[in-house]
Amino acid sequence: MTRWIEITLRVDGEAAEAAAELLNRYGYQGVAVEHEGIPPDKLDEDQVPPATTLAVRAYLPDDAAAPEAQRQFSEALTYMRMMYPFPEPAFRIVEEADWAEAWKAHYHPIRLGRRILIRPIWVEVETQPDDVVIALDPGMAFGTGTHPTTQLCLEALEDHVKPGIKVFDLGTGSGILAIAAAKLGAHDVLAVDIDSVAVEVGAANVAQNGTAERIVVQQGSLETVLHSPRRFDLLLANILARVIIAMCDQPLGDVLRPGGVGIFSGILVEQAEEVETALRRVGLLPFNRRQQGDWVVIEARRPSE
């Protein structure tokens, strides 16, 4: 059974992106960024209060390479402290078998937007007739609906998903956005992630939610679609701002049909202008921003030809 070393940096919103970029260099499959200090009884309210502290986490396999990875991480953090006062990281060992139990202690049902209800699979909750219910077991993949980046994406999905559309979920993680798109009416969803663990977890969540007929979950990236004739009505990219900008050189806009919409998240307020400039460079025209605390979602459209 695999053991993991969990590394946590607790930072404010200004430092969250830099902390995520640093941890992403060493983490097994990316980073998790979560609210701190919001009581569970506040999570199902219409407006989740903005977090003053964010916990940025990454996981390293506890193997022979771990000491060198931790040394390199500590050295990099020392250099970053010359620019910003990062706190001391917290380290702990996590047994893979205990992962789900750890989530059960901190993961609670949450209502978002007009009718989306996210619940852990181990919690039964009273629902309304028009609720769009997403049941999740995050496992060793990220995407629980508790972070502003995911919440903003889900709210945007409610406005943009129309019956029968085709959706591309780039960096699906737990599959939460793909499942929401399918349950809101999308006919065909392709969900990809570069990490095999995320693909396994995402596929399991898709099956759990009865959406396997409309969602294909596979290991892949932007190139998976760029090298195929497939094009989509809606693109979901809940990833880091720097990754979105880099993808604009591939070019990102080509995966959308004329008139298609992209929903881009994982973006801090101060990064929004740079991301929008990159999107315009590939023919995507930003038309709306949604903001929660320090985080924004940018919506952009490929012009109709």
Given strand 90-95, what is the order of strands in its sheet?
A: 32-36, 53-61, 3-11, 90-95
Q: Which token pair is 199?
A: 């693909």
Tokens of 148: 């502003």
pLDDT in tens, 238-295: 988 888 999 998 888 899 999 999 999 988 888 999 999 999 999 999 999 999 888 8
Q: Which residues of 220-248 are buried (b: 16+ CB within 10 A; e: fewer)?
A: bebebbeeeeebbbbbbbbbbbbbbbebb
Topology alike, domains 3-99 and 142-301: no
- Token pair of 118 as six digits: 């996210």
Give the global pTM: 0.74
Q: What is the pLDDT of residue 300?
A: 97
Tokens (6 digits) for 237? 């990219």
Alpha helices by DSSP H, the chain: 13-24, 66-80, 99-106, 148-160, 176-183, 196-208, 222-226, 241-247, 272-281
Is the domain covering 3-99 a CATH 3.30.70.120 domain? yes
Q: Domain 142-301: which CATH class?
A: alpha beta
Domain boundaries, the chain: 3-99, 142-301
CA distances from 229 to 1, 8, 164, 249, 254 (A): 41, 41, 19, 19, 10
Residues with Cβ within 8 Å of residue 18, at least 6 apart in sequence: 80, 84
The residue ranges of the chain whose pLDDT is under 70 are 1-2, 27-30, 35-52, 96-107, 138-145, 305
pLDDT of residue 140: 54
Contact at 8 Å (CB) between 72 and 26?
Answer: yes
For 6, list phi and psi in degrees, rounded to 5: -90, 125
- Alpha carbon distance 50, 35 (integer Å): 8
| Predicted pLDDT of residue 210 | 95
